Every structure is written in C-alpha cells, then in structure tokens.
Structure 1
Amino acid sequence: MNGEACDLTYFALAATATQAEKNEQPRSSAPARLGELPDVLGGRYKIERLLGVGGMGAVYRARDLLREQFGDPEPYVALKTLSDDFAEYPDANSLLYSEFALTARLNHPNVVRLFGFEVDVPSQRAFLILELLKGPTLDQLLCERPEGLPWDELSEIAIALLEALTYSHQLGVLHGDLKPSNVMLADDGLRLFDYGLGQPVEGLLPGLPRLCRNRFTAWTPRYAALELLDGAPLSPAADVYALACVLYELASGRHPFRRLSAKQAKSMELDKQLQRPEQLPVHCWPALRTALAFEQAQRTISCAELLHAFRAPPLGRWTRWLRGTH
C-alpha cells in the first residue's frame, strides 16, 4: 500500500438489528436497488458541482430552489450523500441519519452547521443539508506552509479547533476521524466537520444505529490512536490523540511519527525521538507531549486541559529566568 492510500478512511457497515430480530428473520445483505443521483434532490436542491469526496461519500454544492424562488440572494448549500457502494447497504441511510443526529446537537461557531436530513424518494438517496463553506482545509494549508505556522497563527487555529472539540466532548459527541482535511478555515472562522465516523458517549442517544468497530476498521491510519488499532471502542482519549497529531503537524509542518500509524511508530520507539517544535511555546509542550502518548493510560489529558495550556500566554524571558532560579 502506498503512502497516499494510507491516508484513506476505511469503513464498513454494522448490522443494526438486535439479536432477537436476527433470530426471527435473517436479513438479506443484498444491496438495495438505488437510482442514479438525480440533478435535483428532494424536489428542491439543484446539484451544481462536486466539492469533495471522503471515506463515506461526497459533498456537492447545490442551489436551494425554494429559497431562490422567494428571492434569497444566497440560496446555496452543501449536500452530503453516500457513495454508491456505501449507499447500497440496507442500513446506510440510518447511519447517515446518525451523523445528522450527532452534529445537529452541536451549536458552536467552530463546528459545521447542519440544516436537515432528507431522503429523495424516487432515487432512495439520503442526504444531509449543510452550510456551504469556502476556504482551505488544514491539509491544504500545510502544503503551502511546509515549515509549520508561527505561534500567532498557530495559536488562533489551535484554540478554535480545541474549543470545537472540547464543546463536542462536553455534549457527549465524539468525532472519530479528526484530521487536517476535516478542518476548514472558512471565511468567517474555522469549522470542524465530517462527524460521519463519530459516536455518542455511552448512554447518550442509545437508539441511534452505530458503526460496529468489531466488524470493521474506520479511521485514517496515521491519526488513529493505538487502542483503536487494537480494537478498543472510540473514546475522548482517541480524539485527543488525533487532535494532538494535527497540532504537532501545524506547529512543525511534519507529522509527529513520520506519517506512520501509532502501532508502527510504537514498534520503532519513535515517541522517544519526539522534540518540541521550535514554533511551539515551551509551556505548551508538556500538555501536547502527554496527548501524543501511545498508551491510553498515559494519555492523561482531556481536550479541555489541552485548550487551557494553549490559551495560557507564553512565558517571557524574565519569567523563565525567575522560574529557573527557584
């Protein structure tokens, strides 16, 4: 597998039926019959062009014909649909609804806004309606800034991203696939998006269908925490690891572990070679280093604590000297 392929998000569907339902009637795994993606979804949203393709599906720019009819000068939205292969499974639409149910709980300026979930009846295609964002993603920014970002730029992006994920965790929503391509620097601020592999914390929204991590892998390998690679359930600590990799990359221009998975990096003991990026203030490094720990038991820091470290003002030379004399 080449390096480019390693960046892909891998996925498969979980069966959402209970064991009792399975005993009553085995459900066929044959693909559902889907129509082609129509030019107009839901009799209202006119697809204009493809914006991007991810692990689960594709995002399109669309025109809301109803808003346009009533004279809205900006009737544009983004539509997320499932890929053809993914959409053919019987419970695919339910899983897309799970993404809607999770993200719709979040009302934060740095989290993408969802407007609705619908199913186009003739084609049987489910889709999400989202705000249309314009701007580069963090992976595009990193391509332009291979040496990383200076602290004034880095801190602005890092704090906005940390605030978004801290807020998500406080409401019991785990992202599950945090990486530079899922963060956009929009015209009016940063947006964290694509909760397609996200899950609620245990006990929250128990009726939602979930991705079953015992039957498939669902992550972008170089941002996946070691415990996910070993089959453990998604947790806040796993999101912290992915976020820490992104922050290190923004500070240095390099992935902390040579773009390798945590399992590969641990076998090579790359954590022992970690050094503070030059553009990261000294006071932030202990927190970020803890967040990059391979073992979950040693990753003893939350998003909120990481945010606190990045919000703290850098120490001046005089303060550092005084601390060094005590």
Structure 2
Amino acid sequence: MTTAPGMPTLLAGRYHLERVLGSGGMGVVYRARDLLHEQFGERCSSVAIKMLGENLRLAPDAHVLLYSEFALTRSLQHERVVRMFAFEVDISTQMAFFTMELMRGMTLDRLLLEGPDGLPWRELQPLAVQLLDAVAYVHRQGVLHGDVKPVNIMLGDDGIRLFDFGLGQATAEAMAGLASVSRDRFSAWTPAYAAPELLAGGALTASADLYAVACVVYELAHGKRLGERRATERLERPQQMPAACWPALRLALAMDPERRTISVEELGEVMARCRWRWFR
C-alpha cells in the first residue's frame, strides 16, 4: 500500500514516505527514509512514522493526542518494546507525527493464520515469556498498554516487540507536568482481548492488561480466540499448554478482576519454568 491520497511524500524536509505499513482506529504508520541521515552516510536510514488518521487529524487537540502517546512511551527502553525517536510537526501541512524504529517481521495475527491448531509449546513458550516480560516492564514504568492483541505484537528474527500504545495510559506520577487529553472518546477496545470490566465501562488497569496478554497466550496455544464468554463458563486447557502452566493462565483469564490474583510478572515466571518434559 502506498501513501494515502493527498498525503505529502516529504515531511519536515527530511522524511520521504514510501508506503503505509498499517492503520488502526486512531493512526496510520508509514515506512519512510530519513534523507538527512542518508546524506551523512547512514546505511540504514529507514524509520517508521506514525500520524493520526484523517478522521482525527483535524481535531482541535490532535497534536496533544499524538504527543501524549509519544510522551507515554519515549522513556521505555526495553528490547521487547518498540523504541521511539522524535516528535515533530511538518510546518507546511501542520501535520504532527513521531518517528520510531522500523520493525521487521510479521505480526502475531499472521503467525496465528499459519498455525490454526496452536503452536507447539517449544515455539509458544519463548513468545509468551517475551511478551509477558515486555508488559511487566511497561507496568513497572507506570504505563498501561491498553490494547495488547496479536496485531500489536511484531515477531522478528530476534523475538517479539510490543508496539502501538495509542490507547495506553499512565499513572499520574509518570505523566506529571505533561499535557494530556481525555481518552474517553478513544476507548475502542477490541472485544476479543478486552477485559469484561473495560467493555462494561470500567477503567484501564494492570489487571485488564493481564487479561489481554492471557488471551493472546491462550490463542497461541489453542489456535482460536476465546470469543464471547459466560461468567459460569469453565475453560478447558489447550492441548499445547503444559498442565503445570494452566492454573496460572486460567487465573489471568478470570472474568472477574477480583479473581485475577496473579500479576503479569508472576505469570511470566510460571511460563518460564514450564519445560517441554513436563508436558501432559
């Protein structure tokens, strides 16, 4: 997919837009070349650029909205989390955008298409541990992702990367002094991965992120989404999931947040301990 109709091909006099990498409810991500870095002999000058979608770009607080996502994630330094570079505004078009590392690979939703019966534990385990490690780190920094799902997780040669914090939030301490906007109108939770309390209008919490991550791990093991559930429904262990891991994952998948008596970090520790020889 090339650039959208009406979009300039050059931003801020240095970023040459090449093609659309993906789009969601709030933003569009482009692959671009940094011509300034190329001029100084940089061999790998490609970056990813995120800007708001056309439906939000003209909103009065558009720049603040995009900057809040950038500010939320710019200090995150983890090998499993996308790295942010800079926030800029193209003067000629008044378009705000930020640059970030260009990730190579495929998103987990594409991987799931290749494994409709779930992944073998030897392949699933490192992905689950890496994802849980990324989310646990984000939580320690006072950040909530808010939209953990396969399409927001990239799998490359060196493992997974978590990205797209467009629905993310932070503690008051983490964002002290920064401009912010009300996110009520952007709570476009994905039903298959959103905790029941979010769909009922509740606030985003670490427990809700835990539920979403657990849904992704379950889908990797089962090959299918959890889908709509009843409060009384009893989940069955996926065949690809070792019996020793299942009690912890089932806790994380509890529909009642009060029953999710495990943290993302603790779930990651359980997943890391479950070896192939324990498989039942």
1:266 maps onto 2:227 in alignment = no
Q: Show structure 2 runs of 5+ residues with no match.
A: none
Aligned residues with identical type, % of pairs: 53
CA distance in 2, matches of 1:208, 1:291: 33
Name the counterpart of 2:46: 76
1:276 maps onto 2:246 in alignment = no
CA distance in 2, matches of 1:221, 1:40: 37
CA distance in 2, matches of 1:88, 1:124: 10
Shift of residue 121 of structure 1?
1.2
> 165, 173, 190: which one pairs with 1:220?
190
Amino acid of the residue matched to residue 55 of structure 1?
Answer: G
Shift of residue 50 of structure 1?
1.1
Alignment of 1:171-186 (within 5 A): 171-186=141-156
CA distance in 2, matches of 1:301, 1:52: 33
- Aligned residue pairs total 275
Name the counterpart of 1:10: none
Q: Which portions of structure 1, spanning 4 or more consecutive aligned residues, are displaced by more than 6 angstroms?
A: none
Name the counterpart of 1:133: 103
Name the counterpart of 2:272: 311
Contact 1:201–1:235, Cα closer than 8 Å, also in 2 = no
Structure number with bigger Rg: 1
Report the TM-score when normalising by structure 1: 0.80
Shift of residue 40 of structure 1?
0.5
Alignment of 1:221-236 (within 5 A): 221-236=191-206
Q: Show structure 1 runs of 5+ residues with no match.
A: 1-34, 321-326
Cα displacement string for residues 72-110 of structure 1 (whole angstroms, at most 9, x for unaligned residues) = 121111111111111111112111111111111210000
Alignment of 1:36-47 (within 5 A): 36-47=6-17
CA distance in 2, matches of 1:188, 1:298: 35
CA distance in 1, matches of 2:139, 2:199: 21
Shift of residue 54 of structure 1?
1.2
Alignment of 1:97-176 (within 5 A): 97-176=67-146
Alignment of 1:57-76 (within 5 A): 57-76=27-46
RMSD over aligned CA atoms reads: 1.9
Shift of residue 188 of structure 1?
2.8
Shift of residue 38 of structure 1?
1.4
Contact 1:99–1:196, Cα closer than 8 Å, also in 2 = yes
Cα displacement string for residues 132-160 of structure 1 (whole angstroms, at most 9, x for unaligned residues) = 11111000000011011111110010011
